Amino acid sequence: MRNGIDRRTFLKGAGLLGAAAALPMGLVEIVWGKAPDQKFTFAYISDAHLTHIKGTEFVQNFDKGLRKAVFEVNFLDPQPDFVVFGGDLAQLGKKEEIDHGREIMKELTTPVKWVMGEHDYYLDLGEYWRKNFGPDHYSFDHKGVHFVVLNSILTDDYWTHEKWPTAEERMHQMARLDNPHGSPFMVKDAQRAWLKNDLAKISKDTPLVVLSHSPLYKVFKPWNFWTDDAEKVQALLKPFRQVTVFHGHVHQVLYNQIGHISFNAFMSTAWPWPYPVSYSQKPNKIPDITVFMNRADPFKERDGTGWGHIDIAGRNGFAHHYGLWENTPRTVEKDARMAHPSDTKYQDPKDRIPPQTRY
């Protein structure tokens, strides 16, 4: 180990080891880089939902989650190569919220790769976000792995440009979870054409990591746990031998496997969402392989938020270690024996707290 303090030693010395899951970020270890024995690490933080009240006043609970995540990342030794922010830095896309989030994230000691969420976009259609953080879709290569960042929260042109009398009304409509006047997310034609061109430049043997805000498969349309053109995006990814998609938005333990494409959800630093099975009025497409996390206690402000680290071993699979605040930690693994992710420990129903049965 380099001179310095490793994460476990720091947490133990600070009396925080037992509360490590309080810090809602995640650690991802990539072990299929340029050389067979090459590893690199990136951390993730997602779905902060910083909410402006007035003046310099913000909702403190959401601030606390993001500040704790930044604090934890900065104490990692060795430091991650970079940090991914998974979208929804702001709640209503206000300049005050984005500025506030930028100032908190500036405390990170490593570079940040930004993913845009719908709460960052629908007030000014991403103008202030792009001014501060750069383009909303792009790609980069890092130690033999090709990363693609997509803006997956676009939607129908009429809904975006003509339906609402003001930008503020459009933002409020998109910010609602169960809005019958909402519109499904999309990557859309122009961005898929860009993706096709970008992927044409790399070998099909190149490990591919895709970062999006909404899941690039269909879970539950009424809550926009959904990307309408997901199958078209998956078709562009299908020729590659090793594809892993990380996404935010759903605020819960969620994992899926479609063909050889693995999907993993980031946790949120703000709050958990219930699983769509709780909305009994509508059918859902929750992946059968996902075992729900224990129901969050609504009287504990940090329960259901959390962090995790993901060890990825190329074609041999991955292990996603979920650390959940005041909840039960989990490890979900896909290895050479399994064609899909699965819990490493049997989740006995009698030991679990089931999610809500109605919404």
φ/ψ of residue 283, rounded to 5 = -70, 155
In three state form, how does the secondary structure of the chain look? CCCCCCHHHHHHHCCCHHHHHHCCCEEEEECCCCCCCCCEEEEEECCCCECEEECCEECHHHHHHHHHHHHHHHCCCCCCCEEEECCCCECCCCHHHHHHHHHHHCCCCCCEEECCCHHHHCCCCCHHHHHHHCCCCEEEEECCEEEEECCCCECCHHHHHCCCCCHHHHHHHHHCCCCCCCCCCECCHHHHHHHHHHHCCCCCCCCEEEEECCCCCCCEHHHCECCCCHHHHHHHHCCCCCEEEEECCCCCCCEEEECCEEEEECCCCCCCCCCHHHCCCCCCCCCCCCCCCCCCCCCCCCCCCEEEEEEECHHHCEEEEEEECCCCCEEEEECCCCCCCEECCCCCHHHCCCCCCCC
Number of domains forming the structure of the chain: 1
Residue scoring higher pLDDT (283 or 91) = 91
Name the nearest CA neighbour of 47 among 228, 175, 217, 233.
Answer: 175
Q: Using 50, 70 and 90 to split pLDDT, how confident is the model at 202?
A: very high
The listed range with the strongest mean pLDDT (63-77, 230-244, 293-307) is 230-244
Over range 135-161, report the average pLDDT.
Answer: 95
- Does residue 357 fall inside a structural domain? no
Report how far residue 319's alpha carbon sits from residue 91's, in angstroms, rounded to the nearest whole number: 31
Q: pTM for the full model?
A: 0.88
The CATH number for 112's domain is 3.60.21.10
- Does residue 332 fall inside a structural domain? yes
User: What is the pLDDT, as a whole number, of residue 96?
Assistant: 98
Structure tokens at 270: 């703000």
Q: Using 50, 70 and 90 to split pLDDT, how confident is the model at 52?
A: very high
The listed range with the strongest mean pLDDT (7-11, 53-57, 76-80) is 53-57
Over range 315-341, report the average pLDDT.
Answer: 73
User: What is the pLDDT, as a whole number, of residue 28?
Assistant: 66
Name the nearest CA neighbour of 271 among 325, 308, 309.
Answer: 325
Name the nearest CA neighbour of 136 among 225, 211, 226.
Answer: 211
- Tell me if 213 sits within 8 A of 247, measured CB to CB: yes
The mean pLDDT of the chain is: 85
- Does residue 253 fall inside a structural domain? yes
- Does residue 2 fall inside a structural domain? no
- Does residue 359 fall inside a structural domain? no
Query: Which single residue is written with the structure tokens 């309408």?
Result: 228
- Does residue 271 fall inside a structural domain? yes
Among 170-174, 200-204, 290-294, 317-321, where is mean pLDDT lowest? 317-321
Q: Using 50, 70 and 90 to split pLDDT, how confident is the model at 317?
A: low
Question: Does the structure show a pLDDT above 70 at 16?
Answer: no
Over range 292-302, report the average pLDDT.
Answer: 81
Over range 326-338, report the average pLDDT.
Answer: 76
The pLDDT tens digits for 228-278 are 999 999 999 999 988 989 999 999 989 999 998 989 899 999 999 989 988
Report how far residue 233's alpha carbon sits from residue 249's, in angstroms, rounded to the nearest whole number: 18
User: What is the pLDDT, as a whole number, of residue 358?
Assistant: 54
Question: Does the structure show a pLDDT above 50 at 150?
Answer: yes
Residue scoring higher pLDDT (331 or 1) = 331
- Side-chain half-sphere of 103: how many Cα atoms within 13 Å? 9
User: What is the pLDDT, as a whole number, of residue 1?
Assistant: 39
- Does residue 358 fall inside a structural domain? no
Percent residues over pLDDT 70 in the chain: 84
User: What is the pLDDT, as a whole number, of residue 34?
Assistant: 60
- Does residue 119 fall inside a structural domain? yes
The domain in which residue 312 lies consists of 7-13+24-351
Question: Does the structure show a pLDDT above 80 at 97?
Answer: yes
Question: Does the structure show a pLDDT above 50 at 120?
Answer: yes
